[in-house]
Amino acid sequence: MAQITDTTQRLGIVGAGKIGTSIARAAVAAGYEVTISGSGSIDRSALTIEILAPGAHAATTAQVVESHKLIVLAVPTHKFRELDHDLFNGKVVIDAMNYWEPIDGSDPELAEAEHGSSTIVQAWFDSAKVVKSFNQLGYHQFDEHRQPDPTGVRTAIAAASNHPDALEVVLQLIDDLGFDPVHAGSLEAGKALDPGGPGFGAALPADQLTAALSQLATASGWASIATS
């Protein structure tokens, strides 16, 4: 797979909630150096991380961005616009967020996103390379279905992006963390991974997840989907 310099074995995470710390646990177990920023003080984040993601390190968001080229964005969806447009300039950003109106409040742009919520995230962070992934499974599923042994039975996680080089890096990360990677096509095709889509909440092997996503992609005229 393609690689981007200095991303191997290093992962930054913006958001120290349940999904962010679940990803951190898997990454630490896979041998990654993981740094996480939370919404509170460093001390508060450090305590949370020590309990929920031992082995990961707490930092400010600015420090996470400065020291990593591969970053998971796992903040509540209604808060991503609080981050500067150019914060992730040149970075590979994994959009692991899901829009939930009861939690995030009314947001017509996200609620009516014809091409999926990640296209809106990409438009906001227009100098970043956004990849839709890691939002598909709940944090409890992430822990339960991770299979470090590549010869074992694995659950698949899909990724979608308009940036092939960034997509390849994320597919490798998915594999490293104990899941089978599925190439879900363009960022627009990532709508299938949003809540209500056929990929959302789907803890399936790669062939079944690919089939579910491909059916919608064909009907919608999106870019073709293929397993990694």
Query: Which CATH number describes the domain made up of 10-220?
Result: 3.40.50.720
How large is the average pLDDT for residues 6-27?
A: 90
The pLDDT score that the predictor gives to residue 5 is: 44
- How does pLDDT run across 205-219, given as a tens digit for each residue? 999 999 988 876 565
Give every CB contact of residue 182 below 8 A, 6+ residues apart in sequence.
156, 157, 158, 159, 206, 209, 210, 213, 225, 227, 228
- Cβ atoms of 195 and 100 within 8 Å: the answer is yes
Instruction: Give exposure, 150-183, as e/b (b: 16+ Cβ within 10 Å).
Output: eeeebbbbbbbbbbeebbbbbbbbbbbbbbbbbb
Top mean pLDDT of 102-111, 128-137, 195-204 is at 128-137
Residue 44 pLDDT greater than 70, yes or no: yes
DSSP 30-95: TT-EEEEE-SS-HHHHHHHHHHHSBTBEE--HHHHHHH-SEEEE-S-GGGGGGS-TTTTTT-EEEE
Give the number of C-alpha atoms closer than 13 A to the C-alpha of residue 154, restricted to the C-beta side: 21
Among 50-54, 59-63, 123-127, 190-194, the least confident range:
190-194
Structure tokens that stand for 59 in this block: 């930092």
- Cβ atoms of 56 and 28 within 8 Å: the answer is yes
pTM listed for this prediction: 0.90
- How does pLDDT run across 146-162, given as a tens digit for each residue? 999 888 899 999 999 99
The pLDDT score that the predictor gives to residue 125 is: 98
Task: pLDDT band for 220, please (50, 70, 90 cuts).
Answer: low
Name the more confident of 195 and 112: 195
d(CA 162, CA 183): 11
Parse the chain into domains and list their residue ranges. Answer: 10-220
What is the rounded average pLDDT for all residues in the chain?
A: 89
